[in-house]
Amino acid sequence: MSTFTTSDGTGIYYKDWGEGPPVVFSHGWPLNADAWDGQARLAAEHGFRAITHDRRGHGRSGQPWRGNHMDRYADDLAELIEALDLRDAVLVGHSTGGGEVVRYMGRHGTGRVAKAVLLGAVPPLMLRTDANPEGTPKDVFDRIRAAVATDRSQFYWELSESFYGFNRPGAAVSEGMRRAFWMWSMQAGLKGAYDCVEQFSETDFTEDLRRIDVPTLVAHGDDDQIVPITAAAHRTAQLVGNATLKVYEGAPHGLVGDFEQAFNDDLLNFLRG
């Protein structure tokens, strides 16, 4: 089990597979590094060094009372990259992990970064505001917080259905995938999971996106029920100077089935390009 300790004393769990140019994966809420296993294995089998980590408060990492906010998530990522002395890394972030990656580049620059991939990512801002009328109303996130606080086990089980689009007509439902999602989610501590809701929903990444100066693949399913594409990928692709937008027709938020295979092909092509 590989861990390192951050400057504020939090233990961060990570996996380090393969050899070659580094690819660093950041996971979504409320999951952990295991959600990236398929892509990490793919990268490692094709000549890359795949690194995944459990965000603080999630999975096998420490569960501190303080520090469950986007700046600290980005700082943890920076400290991991520096601890492993990674250079010319490709940063890959899904959902909240996409926010973590974007905040990292906005806060720490791109000196160690060659490229970035944002999959179903939360930037620039999920919350509906006067300036962001296509965002999601705050009461949606209030209900998420309430559900996490009162019966997170049931909430995570129900969330797994829309996360993978299993509630759509004709969907090939995987009971195993739903159980895996629930298991990963339940490994997140209550405090960290609760705090993270505000971070993924109310953090404004607009200025961070404008600072990104490396080639960036912005990938998103157009049937994403968790992070709707209009306020997310479409706006992100406009704000990042060197972005390529890839839209997957009918695809949900979570990687599953044909969508996962299509993304894997695009990821590998982007890594090799």
Q: What is the 3-state secondary structure (H, E, C) of 214-242?
A: CCEEEEEECCCCCCCCCCCHHHHHHHCCC
Burial class (CB in 10 A: 0-12, 13-18, 19+), 84: middle
For residue 25, the one-letter residue type is F
**Rounded Cα distance, 74 and 105, in Å:** 8
Strands (E) in 18-174, as ranges, are 22-26, 49-53, 89-94, 113-119
Count Cα neighbours of 172 within 13 Å in the Cβ-side half-sphere.
5
The token pair that represents 224 in the structure block: 């994403």
Query: What per-residue confidence (pLDDT) applies to 125?
Result: 98
Instruction: Report, as residue numbers or ranges, the catalytic residues.
Output: 95, 224, 253
Q: Any idea which residue has 């990656």 for tokens?
A: 101
- Whether residue 100 contacts residue 74, with contact meaning beta carbons closer than 8 Å, is answered with yes
Q: Tell me the β-bridge partners of 221.
A: 248
Q: Was domain 2-272 assigned CATH 3.40.50.1820?
A: yes
Kindly provide the b/e burial profile for residues 17-28, where b requires at least 16 CB atoms within 10 angstroms of the residue's own CB.
bbeebbbbbbbb
* pTM for this prediction: 0.98
The token pair that represents 132 in the structure block: 């962001």
Query: What per-residue confidence (pLDDT) applies to 174?
Result: 98
Domain boundaries, the chain: 2-272
pLDDT in tens for each of the 273 residues of the chain? 799 999 999 999 999 999 999 999 999 999 999 999 999 999 999 999 999 999 999 999 999 999 999 999 999 999 999 999 999 999 999 999 999 999 999 999 999 999 999 999 999 999 999 999 999 999 999 999 999 999 999 999 999 999 999 999 999 999 999 999 999 999 999 999 999 999 999 999 999 999 999 999 999 999 999 999 999 999 999 999 999 999 999 999 999 999 999 999 999 999 999
